[in-house]
Amino acid sequence: MQHPQFKLLITNLAFTAWLLAVAILLQQLATDHPVQWDMTQNGNNSLSDSTVNVLAQMPGKIKLTMFINENQGDMQQATRDFVATYQRYKPDIRLTFIDPEKQPEQARKANIRLNGEMLVDYGGRRERLSQLNEQAFTGLLLRMMRTRNQLVRYLDTHGEPSLEGNREHDLGKFGRQLRQNGFRLESMNLAQTPKIPIDTSILILTQPQINLFPGEIEKLLHYVAGGGNLLWLVDFGPLHGLERMAENLDILLTPGIVIDPAAEEMNLPATWALGANYPPHVITQNFNLTTTFPLARSIDWEESDAWHRIPLAEVAPRGWLSHNIPEDKPYFNSTQDVPGPITIALTLQRNINDREQRIAIVGSSLFLANAYSGNGGNLDLGVSMVNWLGHEEIFISPRLRPVKDDTVTLSKTDLGIINGSLLVALPMLLISVGAVLWWRNLRHAQK
């Protein structure tokens, strides 16, 4: 008969062997099939759906070359970790480090100006990247993806908001977002231009503060008649000559501004219309962000066969169109006001000159103004409209998410405590507990 101590030893050895086998199997599975969870509030350690969509549409290799001193190991590791998040979706991204001090000739040929600067090569094109984050890197990839170098022109000689201005009513943030997405921007003076140049991919027309000359209106109408794509941001107030543009497009601009009780319920002015109901359209496909339209006006139309029209945004289902900006608490006047819902954004399409012409009209330029463009999905919607106008639907997606999580910075002492706890104290505790249990079992077996 076997001794009890020998049986216990065999049992313990078998259990240990089984535990080691399971650990080895789990380690092999983790190596062959890595799985990662991002538990940060805003997914800071994973990529947004927008970036994943961009990577899925990029055939071919991406070559990354970072020029950085070898003694900056922490920065190199941070770069490897950042690029690894992209490599999970596109494994053919290659990262190389070059020390500009040890290989100055390569740095000189690449015209490297900053330590830590990265060169990105894709599809025969090269771009520079000096700031390493998802917004900057994915924006650069978007620019490299675009096969067409589209030129967006806008008017700014009649007091219109500027797409490169920094005043509250300017559209500078919107303009910068368009540049980041690969569009070129250029202002235009119609009084000094015989006609709108043929290389204009999209014309952005905002609210003038003074009357346009009749000749300028003719040039705009000629551009539309010839099939030009147009984004028209029309505000509450005088049109200063653009009435002819509305007539030409069979658009009815009913006087008044939208009053939205839902905005008041969100502690916003009632004159801010909240966009949450988007009729089916390529621009708003999978778009689930709320937008805000300050001092919005109604966009209506006369039925005709000249254009195919699709409403883009409907607001204020419990609100109304008021003829005046309310000074006190707004109320519905049944004899003057128009009950909601109100259409404030509209797209028009038609086939002309063997191609499809596209126009988008929004009853508020303020929704893309610097003071308001950061609200909800305003910039997302604006950029998506321009992508649609430029016939590049593949780029229509929500922009990269903002960062919400705060960065946690640990000192060397904190790291030492954590490492000591996990690598020394915890294993020793487990060994001690195991030894005590083994000793108790041994004593029990001897009895």
The 3-class secondary structure across 121-160, one letter per residue, is: EECCEEEEECCCCHHHHHHHHHHHHCCCCCEEEEECCCCC
pLDDT number for residue 221? 96
pLDDT number for residue 186? 94
Residue 317 preceded by cis peptide, ω within 30: no
C-alpha to C-alpha distances, 358 to 44, 184, 250, 387, nearest whole angstrom: 37, 19, 15, 11
Chain mean position to CA 25: 41
The residue ranges of the chain whose pLDDT is under 70 are 1-9, 11-12, 15, 19, 22-23, 26-45, 147-148, 397-416, 418-426, 430, 433-434, 438, 441-447
Coil, strand, or helix at residue 218? helix
Q: Is the dihedral of CA 261, 262, 266, 270 positive or negative?
A: negative
343 pairs with which residues across the strands? Answer: 314
342 pairs with which residues across the strands? Answer: 315
89 CB-side CA count, 13 A: 17
Q: Structure tokens of 188?
A: 């235009």
121 pairs with which residues across the strands? Answer: 63, 126
165 CB-side CA count, 13 A: 18
Q: Structure tokens of 405?
A: 């999580």
Give me the amino acid identity at 82.
Answer: F
Q: Structure tokens of 223?
A: 């551009």
Measured distance CA(126)–CA(446) in Å, rounded = 76
Measured distance CA(246)–CA(239) in Å, rounded = 9
Give me the amino acid identity at 116.
Answer: G
Residue 423 sits at φ, ψ, to 5 deg, of: -95, -20
For 98-144, the pLDDT digits (tens) are: 998 889 888 888 888 888 899 999 988 888 888 888 888 887 888 78
pLDDT number for residue 406? 42
Give me the amino acid identity at 254.
Answer: T
Kind and range of the H or E run holding 31:
helix 4-32
Coil, strand, or helix at residue 120? strand
Report whether 387 contacts 229 (CB < 8 A): no
